[in-house]
Amino acid sequence: MKKNIIIKLLLLTLFILVINGCHNTDSIDNESNNVVEIANSFEDEIEEKQEQEPVVEDFTMFFSGDVMIQRCTNLYDNEGINRIISDYIEGEMLSADMTVINNEFPFSTRGSQHPDKQFTFRVDPKYVSILQEMGVDVASLANNHALDYLTDALLDSFTTLDNAGISYVGAGETKERAEEAIFVESGGRKVGVLSASRVIPVVEWNIENRQPGLFCTYDSTRLVERIKEVENQCDYVVVFVHWGIERVAYPEEYQHNLAKQYIDAGADLVVGNHSHVPQGIEYYNGVPIVYCMGNFIFNEDMTDTYATKVTWDAEGNTSLQVIPVDTNNYYTSELTGEDAQAFYDYLEGISFGVSIDEFGNVTSN
């Protein structure tokens, strides 16, 4: 492009000089040099403008359900990451611009077991490599297991994830850090993720009552405020929220209400977790709400669960695809064929005004 501009300007200059009767070679050379300088300057301006206005491309996010890897670390030691997750699922996670999970345990070998909990989890920090190999970019700690082994273990989770290059959201040593959004930029887009919990075992876990602690949304006021603030800092705002009742396939009324408040405040996507079974999908003012995906890596055997793939295209349109998965002997893989179709039919049946096609693409009716 630059060479063509120079040639055209040179020819134009020479033509003008000939018409004007200019036969002085030195004059022609000087004019030519001026033209080259003008062309170079013009090209630099074009390149600078292109850098300032990058080409907008699709932005893809992958969301998993609850992840708790304590029970499959021995399998990972003996056979590697593809003993616990299929090549296809791993590929989807690695290829996404941002992969987000609910990290349903602390990374630590320290701490005292919470005295008032029936189920407590803890994983040696060295196994953060599992998350790295799966391509996890953001791990939410806003859940009812992040403080299973109290403060020391939570602090170790912060350190472990930081050292692994994985961002954490929904918890922090201070209120400001717990409420912080995590941003990822790709393809000319910037997406921010906020996370909060509506389920904690004791009120002391709330960052309002202790530090370190978790960002909570029993009262939606502060999360709504943060959504409005973050909306001005990025193209899309995602709210990743821990809510609902375990083993219940339908969201509580408060889940519907909270989701609508988040969207009214500026959220472009709401994704939930906690129930350990799938809950349905709904659209509100054109914005998708994924109430819960169920477990992702958790139990020895599980069925009827899914991951979610969300894409914003160059025009800003949102597409939503569900990926049905199940686990057999701690191996999480995709459902295909009739099994996948049966799951699509089931999920459509528990959703609210949506259709799901044979490829898992979700549309609002």
Cα 60 to chain centroid, rounded: 8
Hey, CA dihedral for 336, 341, 342, 348, is it positive or negative?
positive
What pLDDT is recorded for position 151? 97
What pLDDT is recorded for position 116? 86
pTM of the model: 0.86
First to last CA, the chain: 48
What pLDDT is recorded for position 161? 98
What pLDDT is recorded for position 346? 97
- Asked if 291 contacts 306 with a C-beta cutoff of 8 angstroms, the reply is no
305 Cβ neighbours under 8 A, 6+ residues apart: 65, 277, 278, 293, 294, 295, 296, 324, 325, 326, 327
What pLDDT is recorded for position 14? 46
What pLDDT is recorded for position 22? 47
pLDDT for 317-349, tens place per residue? 999 999 999 999 999 999 999 999 999 999 999
Question: With a cut of 50, which residues of the chain have pLDDT below it?
Answer: 1-19, 22-23, 28, 35, 46, 49
What pLDDT is recorded for position 28? 47
Residue with tokens 């005295």: 115
Measured at the CA of 208, the angle between CA 203 and CA 209, to 5 degrees, comes to 50
What pLDDT is recorded for position 304? 84
